[in-house]
A and B are shown apart, each in its own frame.
Chain A
Amino acid sequence: DAKTTQPNSMESNEEEPVHLPCNHSTISGTDYIHWYRQLPSQGPEYVIHGLTSNVNNRMASLAIAEDRKSSTLILHRATLRDAAVYYCILSPGNTPLVFGKGTRLSVIA
């Protein structure tokens, strides 16, 4: 499975935008870039996914580099409820997910 590299932790102020980076230099042509997050004491939650083009949904935006070797999850206005571990995962879809350790996001009021 292709690997992703994420910072261990990041910090943001409440109501500020947050950019969570992910490097995936060995991504294959069929891999989608998926983001999940896990709030404390809960199961992971789907956030967004994309293939080549940038994607937006009600939760976040996903910016994908032109060479697809990196991507950034953007939370437009961080709230305290966004404090979680964020996982960047490569998968062709419809397959088991391979989670790394993710990025622990702290949001400061």
Chain B
Amino acid sequence: DTGVSQDPRHKITKRGQNVTFRCDPISEHNRLYWYRQTLGQGPEFLTYFQNEAQLEKSRLLSDRFSAERPKGSFSTLEIQRTEQGDSAMYLCASSMRTSGRGYEQYFGPGTRLTVT
């Protein structure tokens, strides 16, 4: 168990550019979640997957955001035409949903995005 990994750890981009983040969950975890966290606040849910199916998207996820999990393993989160308000920590978590389990979500270290 190597834990949840995220890449890159830090990203600085100019307003209007597109960025893509990657999350590698714990192997065999079938659920994958994306959250966003701004300074002084708790994480906010963005979207989540079970295997390759995207089950829910928060209304925080505007049309500029898209997430994929093509083979039910790693996931990518893309932000198009970034805005300064997108500056935040983007967190990925995974869990194993089985009967009687899946209550624990394991979080990665996050990708810190700064939009200048």
Contact = CB atoms under 8 A, between A and B. Distances in A.
Q: Check if A and B associate.
A: yes
Interface of A: 32, 34, 36, 42-46, 49, 85, 87, 91, 93-94, 96-102
A97 B102 CA distance: 12
Interface residues of B, number: 26
B45 A49 contact: no
Contacts of A45: 107
A94 B108 contact: no
Given A46-B104, A49-B103, A49-B104, A94 B43 contact: no
Contacts, number: 54
Q: Most chain-B CB neighbours within 10 Å: which of A45, A46, A87, A98?
A: A46
B42 A43 contact: no
B93 A43 contact: yes
Contacts of A94: 31, 95, 97, 102-103
Contacts of B41: 101
B43 A97 contact: yes
Contact of A102 (B42, B93, B104, B108): B42
Given A42-B109, A97-B45, A99-B43, 15 more contacts: A32-B103, A34-B103, A43-B4, A43-B107, A44-B93, A85-B42, A94-B31, A94-B95, A94-B97, A96-B35, A96-B45, A96-B48, A96-B56, A99-B44, A102-B42
B104 A96 contact: no
A14 B28 CA distance: 38
A contacts with B: majority SS: loop
Contacts of B58: 96
A14 B71 CA distance: 47
Interface of B: 4, 31, 33, 35, 40-45, 48, 56, 58, 91, 93, 95, 97, 102-110
B42 A46 contact: no
Contacts of B40: 101
A85 B97 CA distance: 26
A42 B91 CA distance: 10
